[in-house]
Structure 1
Amino acid sequence: MFKHLKNDLPASLVVFFVALPLCLGIALASGAPLFSGLIAGIVGGIVVGSISGSSIGVSGPAAGLAVIVLAAIASLGFENFLVAVIIGGVIQILLGVLKAGIIGYYFPSSVIKGMLAAIGVIIFLKQIPHAFGYDSDYEGDLDFFQLDGENTFSALGSMLDFISPGAILVTCISLFILLFWEKVLSKKHDIFKIIPGPLVAVIVGILYYMLVDSNSSFGIATDHLVSVPVPESASDFIGQFTFPNFAAITNPQVWVTGVTIAIVASLETLLCVEATDKMDPEKRTTPTNRELFAQGAGNIVSGFIGGLPITQVIVRSSANLQSGGKTKLSAIIHGVLLLGSVILIPLLLNKIPLAVLAAILLIVGYKLAKPALFKQMFKLGKEQFIPFIVTVLGVVFTDLLMGIGLGLAVGITMILIKNYQNSHFLHIEKTDEGSHIVKMTLAEEISFLNKGAILKELNALPNDTLLELDVTKTLRLNYDILEILDDFAIKAKDKNIEVKLISNKGVVYNPKNYTSFFRAKNSEAA
């Protein structure tokens, strides 16, 4: 695990800077203490990172659960809510033991790529207001409709009334440092690969805040800085931890919330696992059942000490990958950095301008949603592009799970249409006498999905037709199809249609019972 320390350490610093405001922002949006978001980030890095089999996945509090958490805390109270988090963790461990992680493999590639592109678009759009100094929306919000009454696009208009020249300048300086470091300096000397550009950008941002008068036109206001809780003593730090009220375990609503957290957190994790595995240049495969177990263990620990629910998170995972992370050590170190920083240097963290972090996330977002990806998906044809673009639009204009659901529904519809079209091969010949010869060749596997197409063609056959039905390649026929063929055998007599059934067993004219014939054929194939 330490073999790639020179890659994992710089990557962990980048993930740390990305995760810090996200942990605080998601806690704020969830109506929970700010410290609970940091706890979830620390546990997601150290506990989940240690148990997980994912090489580049990073876990922490998820924006997708913010609405659920907000409603649960309002109805249950925070201490009772923590019991639900623990219950959710136990259920996730059971799902891992029962090997439910296989669900993650049933999402089409086009939908997963659409999710990644959509997250990139959202990250980019959501960071523009922060880059201009407008911070009404919390960091980490991925929903189209924001809690402050704005939406993703209306916030871009509102920011024009709150432009901060200092924030814009810091954003531009940070972007220059990040791009110059990556495109030029990192290729000049190895030292620039070891020292990450984002760390330099953060240091420059802190110096800018300290040296430029905050009351001047180019100053950075205090409300445009990271805001980490600052304990005054060791006892004050320990006092920030909240412990669950286990007396609430008999409350049915606590159990409903726990089951909801387990289902949504597991689904988001499996989606993220599938996405990060596709991004991994080494194409490693994450054991999904072990991932569910790791997430469950993390949620149990987080719930016990006052943290928010945890999932694997695509924003941090993609930042880790793009920063050169190679093993799960980068996720673990990022958790250690979160823990150490909130204990040792919270005052220094509170001097980091959000504009610096916005610059880092702008680059992360762009890399996830490069125009080249859209061009590539378009060239693959409509079967790939339509589910892809529907997923992108669905995630951008609703939320993550709704967008994935829309993309998946369209993907399944495309499969049904393709099955409808490709159920058989049809060729029509006319003789000199004007009679019809229709040749129909069935595929190897015919399921109920092909029912409509076959029924349509059989019903369209004109009177006095010779139907050559070739089943030499057919291995399996669904019972629904057999019923259609048996019914057709009766209709064929009324329309004077002669059937020539061609199979490996020979030629049969006008079979009376297709079910018996194909059951025998299926038995031979088996």
Structure 2
Amino acid sequence: MADISSRTSAPGGPKPSTALADFASSVVVFLVAIPLCLGIAVASGVPVAMGLVSGIVGGIVVGLLAGSPLQVSGPAAGLAVIVFGFVDRYGLAALGPVVVAAGALQILAGFFRIGSWFRAISPAVVHGMLAGIGILIVLGQIHVLMGSKPAAGGIDNVAAMDESVAALFNHAEPVANAASQAAAAVPASPTAADTDALPVWMADIFTTEALALMIGVASLLAMIGWEKLRPARLRLVPGALVGVGFGTLLAVVFNLPIARVQLPASLLDGISVPAAADFLRLTEPGIFVTVLVIAVIASAETLLSAAAVDRMHDGVRTRFNRELFAQGVGNGICGMLGALPITGVIVRSSANVQAGAKTRASAVMHGVWVLALVALLPQLLGVVPLTALAAVLLVTGCRLVSLHHVRHLFDHHGWVPVGIWLATVAMIVTQDLLIGVGIGLALSIMEIAPHLRRRLRIESREENGAIALTLDGAATCKDLPALLDTLESLPSNRNVQLVGRDLHFVDHTSAETISDWVKREARAGRKMEFIHPRHEDRHKRLGPLFHRLDAEARA
């Protein structure tokens, strides 16, 4: 894990064109990351300084060590729901040791090279998990958008919706004194309750909650409108920044008495090192289970994001075990600083690639810019309304619910993986994240159970200057690490013939893995040929799968 070279660096350092591209990309990622760091901290029910510290560690520390050079790490929406429920039940002081322990598990996973096993989790379960989390984020942030406090569970948030709506029209509390109610998760800044500039007619007509809702909706419309209508020359300006900026401008101009972001006087004041007694609580069953949940979900989300980043560029491929190690180090540091857990984040990472990043320097510099902003201009963040951040998280939550992926599962793999997706989502929203993921995994195992008696045999040999890769038997998720190792170890300068003549079954996890590899190699210029399975005794979806691979290899 000592090699941290980048794909375009020269012996004397990065080329000027590369350094300039990385600098420009780092600024774009910084602008994307700031509202997300703030918003995810709010959605997690913790002080916003914790989200900023995680963003700094994710950029600088993980950026230097990462196995995916163009991936950008930081606090993730996918963990916000877990953290919110945990803090609500066990208290903020217990979070740091949990993050440290989760990081230690990730380091061990990287050291023992089990990164491929996280990729063996069914895509239906992973995307169902993200969709369920997205729905929970939306249900919670609707309350924040209306200036109210969200509950810990999805059903509780639905049940409390009437109360939050009623508060929009309830004038029982004077406007000047109600701002603190909207900021129950994060206290309002001292200037938030200053109503001297608020017109009397506005105070008579609108409650604080109604004003918060108007700012949130304005931010939401500005964000969506910018992403739909922005000029091509400004395509790198993130919609989240525009939405938060517009909502902040309105709140400042009208001096509205709504909850704002509150930062400590110094970033050091926002750091809370866990006490020894807090680490002793790791023996509590509920806390120990949370360690496992955060470690597994953070790792799965990181590797899913890294695989997506690999599909966006033709440079160095991700070293998944090293990426797990880097994430573990980052989470260990975050936990010791009392910050939020981090993962590789596709929103930041895709912005990084699209902005033209060439090396890991872009991710590292973005962390430096976050640190500089918090250290030099914290008062700038102190005017941001919480409801504007809720608007960003509403959009983020909606995007986690990828109906496009559900359609893809149905078109290529039928109803079974769609049913797994639906069951995972439903149980996460109505019951619990751990229950939902557990049921999804159990259903995935039930799907492949009839085929587990057939083992997959993989043979690679050279024929006429090409590589013949023969797959024989049944390919299921249990074979994915070996399959991945074989595919990713093939020499890059040889054509490949994939022989599936005696292949009987391929589950959707293995099928998607092979498809991703074929599409990536086709973009890189590799020629591929596919020998289809025999008709007798083969699963009905093998024929369509090989026709799909043929088409992807020619694309």
* TM > 0.5: yes
Shift of 1:136: 0.4
Change (3 A) 1:263 1:123: closer
AA partner of residue 271 (structure 2)? F
2:196 corresponding residue in structure 1? none
Change (3 A) 1:375 1:345: same
Counterpart contact for 2:127–2:402, Cα < 8 Å:
no
Counterpart contact for 1:44–1:310, Cα < 8 Å:
no
Shift of 1:209: 0.9
2:381 corresponding residue in structure 1? 349
Change (3 A) 1:27 1:340: farther
Counterpart contact for 1:7–1:326, Cα < 8 Å:
yes
d(CA) in 1 for partners of 2:385 and 2:278? 41
1:58 corresponding residue in structure 2? 73
- Pick the aligned partner of 2:264 from 210, 230, 239: 230
Shift of 1:260: 5.2
- Pick the aligned partner of 2:444 from 391, 395, 411: 411
**1:136 is paired with a residue of what secondary structure?**
coil
Shift of 1:22: 1.7
1:273 corresponding residue in structure 2? 302
Counterpart contact for 2:141–2:150, Cα < 8 Å:
no
1:259-291 per-position Cα deviation (integer Å, ceiling 9, x unaligned): 656533321122202432454452786433212
d(CA) in 2 for partners of 1:326 and 1:155? 45
2:150 corresponding residue in structure 1? 137
AA partner of residue 220 (structure 2)? L
1:401 corresponding residue in structure 2? 434
AA partner of residue 400 (structure 2)? L
d(CA) in 2 for partners of 1:69 and 1:123? 16
Q: Equivalences for 1:349-428 in 2 at 5 Å?
A: 349-380=381-412, 381-416=414-449
Change (3 A) 1:116 1:286: farther
- Pick the aligned partner of 1:155 from 152, 155, 160: 160
AA partner of residue 11 (structure 1)? V
2:29 corresponding residue in structure 1? 11
d(CA) in 2 for partners of 1:26 and 1:35? 12
Structure 2 runs not aligned, ≥5 long: 1-17, 169-208, 455-471, 476-501, 505-555
1:269-328 per-position Cα deviation (integer Å, ceiling 9, x unaligned): 222024324544527864332122112212332344x32352416xx5336536846656
AA partner of residue 308 (structure 1)? A
Shift of 1:474: 11
Matching of residue 312 in structure 1 with residue 325 in structure 2: no
**1:59 is paired with a residue of what secondary structure?**
strand
Change (3 A) 1:211 1:374: same
AA partner of residue 93 (structure 1)? I
Matching of residue 112 in structure 1 with residue 120 in structure 2: no
AA partner of residue 242 (structure 1)? S
d(CA) in 2 for partners of 1:336 and 1:293? 22
**2:131 is paired with a residue of what secondary structure?**
helix
**1:270 is paired with a residue of what secondary structure?**
helix
**2:231 is paired with a residue of what secondary structure?**
helix
d(CA) in 2 for partners of 1:474 and 1:185? 49
AA partner of residue 365 (structure 1)? G
**Structure having the higher Rg:** 1
Counterpart contact for 2:99–2:341, Cα < 8 Å:
no
d(CA) in 2 for partners of 1:343 and 1:154? 41
Counterpart contact for 1:93–1:297, Cα < 8 Å:
yes
Matching of residue 208 in structure 1 with residue 222 in structure 2: no
2:59 corresponding residue in structure 1? 45
Shift of 1:201: 2.6
Matching of residue 179 in structure 1 with residue 224 in structure 2: yes
Counterpart contact for 1:16–1:334, Cα < 8 Å:
no
Deviates more, 1:329-338 or 1:156-165: 329-338
Counterpart contact for 1:265–1:311, Cα < 8 Å:
no
d(CA) in 2 for partners of 1:366 and 1:25? 14
- Pick the aligned partner of 2:312 from 263, 276, 282: 282
Deviates more, 1:52-61 or 1:254-263: 254-263
Q: Equivalences for 1:481-520 in 2 at 5 Å?
A: none
d(CA) in 2 for partners of 1:247 and 1:372? 47
d(CA) in 1 for partners of 2:142 and 2:111? 43
d(CA) in 1 for partners of 2:22 and 2:55? 23
Change (3 A) 1:370 1:294: closer
**How many residues in Structure 1 have an aligned counterpart in Structure 2?**
394
d(CA) in 1 for partners of 2:143 and 2:364? 31
1:122-144 per-position Cα deviation (integer Å, ceiling 9, x unaligned): 3333332333x233028xx6x53
**1:222 is paired with a residue of what secondary structure?**
coil
Deviates more, 1:339-348 or 1:2-11: 2-11
1:511 corresponding residue in structure 2? none
Shift of 1:331: 4.8
Change (3 A) 1:160 1:406: same
d(CA) in 1 for partners of 2:88 and 2:273? 18
Change (3 A) 1:168 1:344: same
Counterpart contact for 1:117–1:392, Cα < 8 Å:
yes
Counterpart contact for 2:42–2:386, Cα < 8 Å:
no
Q: Equivalences for 1:50-89 in 2 at 5 Å?
A: 50-54=64-68, 55-60=70-75, 62-63=79-80, 64-68=82-86, 82=96, 85-86=99-100, 88-89=102-103
2:135 corresponding residue in structure 1? 121
d(CA) in 2 for partners of 1:413 and 1:419? 10
Task: Percent identity, please.
Answer: 27
**Cα RMSD (Å) of the superposition?**
4.0
1:52-94 per-position Cα deviation (integer Å, ceiling 9, x unaligned): 22333523373324555666658xx66xx75665455444323
d(CA) in 1 for partners of 2:373 and 2:251? 19
Change (3 A) 1:312 1:325: farther
1:242 corresponding residue in structure 2? 272
**1:117 is paired with a residue of what secondary structure?**
helix
Change (3 A) 1:85 1:278: closer
1:80-121 per-position Cα deviation (integer Å, ceiling 9, x unaligned): x75665455444323321113232022112222223333333
**1:312 is paired with a residue of what secondary structure?**
strand
1:103 corresponding residue in structure 2? 117
Change (3 A) 1:369 1:91: closer
TM-score by length of 1: 0.63
Counterpart contact for 1:104–1:271, Cα < 8 Å:
yes
Shift of 1:205: 1.7
Structure 1 runs not aligned, ≥5 long: 215-220, 422-443, 448-472, 476-526
- Pick the aligned partner of 2:213 from 168, 171, 191: 168
- Pick the aligned partner of 1:196 from 234, 238, 247: 238
Change (3 A) 1:208 1:295: same
d(CA) in 1 for partners of 2:443 and 2:432? 17
Change (3 A) 1:37 1:124: closer
